[in-house]
Amino acid sequence: MAAEVNNNEDERQACIRIDPVGFQLRAPPPPHRLASYITKDGDLFQTIHMGAAVVDEDKWKLVVDGLVKQPLVLSLEELRSLPTTMITSFHECYGSPLKPPVEALWRVGNVEWTGVRLRTILDMVMPLPEAQYVWSDGLDYGEFAGKKADRYQKDLPLWKAMSKEVLVAFSMNGAPLSKARGSPVRLVVPGWFGTNSTKWLCRLSLQPCRAPSLFTTQWYNEEVHSGSVVTARPVWSVDVNSVIVSPAPGAEVRGQAINVGGWAWSCEGVVEVDVGVGNALLGASVVDRKDFGWQKFQTTLSLSPGTYKIFSRATSLNGIKQPLSGRRNHIHSVEIEVKP
């Protein structure tokens, strides 16, 4: 493993080109089609901000530098030779950073990531006491929302970067990452929104402050109002959320016993899900969480013939409930008809 770091950023030479160029979004199927615990690649949302990097794996390297005692450069072979682990985690898109977070999108799935724990690599470089953040650079570059950037760059506070769930990943659902998923290597930050999981990863730099990227300073921050004071909060940990998978919207069901089930998730985990019809609520059973995966809930409603709107409302481990409306994680509902 090479220890010398070239400050000319020659690791970026691994990017052959950007193809296709520009912003791309592939929405997931509607929630009722996400019935499997593990979401296959074709059903997982896909967000690319400036275009997809085409990478020469023979030239790829990961530079780890900044406020460290021992800078490091890893080839792809060297990275893969380190101890690996697999983490099951929900993966959620925050939504457009250009709009207020008031629309519920339910761009989410649940996948298995395989890679090297980030803290394994950080232990190798030995961060200095003044290091507080880990900046992550992707090989992609181009234009987003009318502004040009020479790289996609995000940051993690060191405490999160050292958490055992954060991976430098090279596999999803048992298969090598595709180009659209960030091949050959990406960052994966379970419990946090997908924007923090830098694709086409090429550099990690330990620094005393947050990164100066447009994707940290201008985009992916929420306004927090306290009286007349407005501050910016980074889009990091995922808010509590849930979706109903069954019954499907518009379903016609027969009999008074209606089975309702779906998925619930949050950074901290979910401890309670209520299923409601109008003002009536019924607690659902909730499966314990595996790693950072989403959790299955289910219950049975007793309904007379008629048309009903059924909703789910989850509560996180730290006691936060889904909002009823007006937020990106507000409650999900389906309308069904109960036949005699």
Q: Is the residue at 130 inside a domain?
A: yes
Give the Cα separation of 124 and 296 in Å (integer). Answer: 38
Q: Report the number of distinct structural domains present in the chain.
A: 2
Of residues 119 and 8, the one with the higher pLDDT is 119
CB-neighbour burial class of residue 140 (10 A; exposed 0-12, middle 13-18, buried 19+): buried
Q: Closest Cα to residue 166, out of 204, 213, 127?
A: 204
Clarify whether residues 333 and 214 are in a common domain. Answer: no
Q: Is the residue at 2 inside a domain?
A: no
Neighbouring-strand partners of residue 167: 117, 188
Q: What is the DSSP letter of 325?
A: S
Q: Closest Cα to residue 152, out of 113, 124, 207, 194?
A: 194
Clarify whether residues 291 and 259 are in a common domain. Answer: yes
**CATH code of residue 258:** 2.60.40.650
Give the Cα separation of 64 and 62 in Å (integer). Answer: 6
Predicted local distance difference test score (pLDDT) of residue 1: 43
Q: Is the residue at 4 inside a domain?
A: no
Clarify whether residues 188 and 334 are in a common domain. Answer: no
Neighbouring-strand partners of residue 155: 135
Predicted local distance difference test score (pLDDT) of residue 232: 86
Task: Residue 291: count other Cβ atoms within 10 Å of its Cβ.
Answer: 16
Band (3; pLDDT cuts 50, 70, 90): very low
Give the Cα separation of 97 and 78 in Å (integer). Answer: 36
Predicted local distance difference test score (pLDDT) of residue 7: 59
> String of b and e for 223-256 (b: at least 16 CB within 10 Å)?
eeeeeeeeeeebbbebbbbbbbbbbeeeeebeee
Predicted local distance difference test score (pLDDT) of residue 2: 38
Clarify whether residues 269 and 153 are in a common domain. Answer: no
Clarify whether residues 210 and 304 are in a common domain. Answer: no
Which residue among 234, 252, 271 closes a domain? 234
Indicate whether 264 pLDDT > 60: yes
Clarify whether residues 184 and 261 are in a common domain. Answer: no
What is the extent of the structural domain holding 200?
10-234
What are the pLDDT digits (tens) for 159-175?
Answer: 999 999 999 999 999 99
Predicted local distance difference test score (pLDDT) of residue 312: 98
Amino acid at 165: E
What are the pLDDT digits (tens) for 323-339?
Answer: 999 999 999 999 999 99
Q: Mean of the pLDDT values across residues 27-55?
A: 97
- Say what percent of the chain tops pLDDT 90: 92
Q: Mean of the pLDDT values across residues 86-106?
A: 96
Which residue among 177, 212, 234 closes a domain? 234
Q: Mean of the pLDDT values across residues 259-273?
A: 98
Would you give the end-to-end CA distance of the chain in angstroms? 70
Neighbouring-strand partners of residue 246: 261
**CATH code of residue 101:** 3.90.420.10
CB-neighbour burial class of residue 181 (10 A; exposed 0-12, middle 13-18, buried 19+): buried
- Give the mean pLDDT of the chain: 95
Q: Mean of the pLDDT values across residues 209-230?
A: 91
Q: Mean of the pLDDT values across residues 267-285?
A: 96
Give the Cα separation of 62 and 182 in Å (integer). Answer: 14
Q: What is the DSSP letter of 182?
A: T
Q: Mean of the pLDDT values across residues 188-216?
A: 98
Predicted local distance difference test score (pLDDT) of residue 329: 97
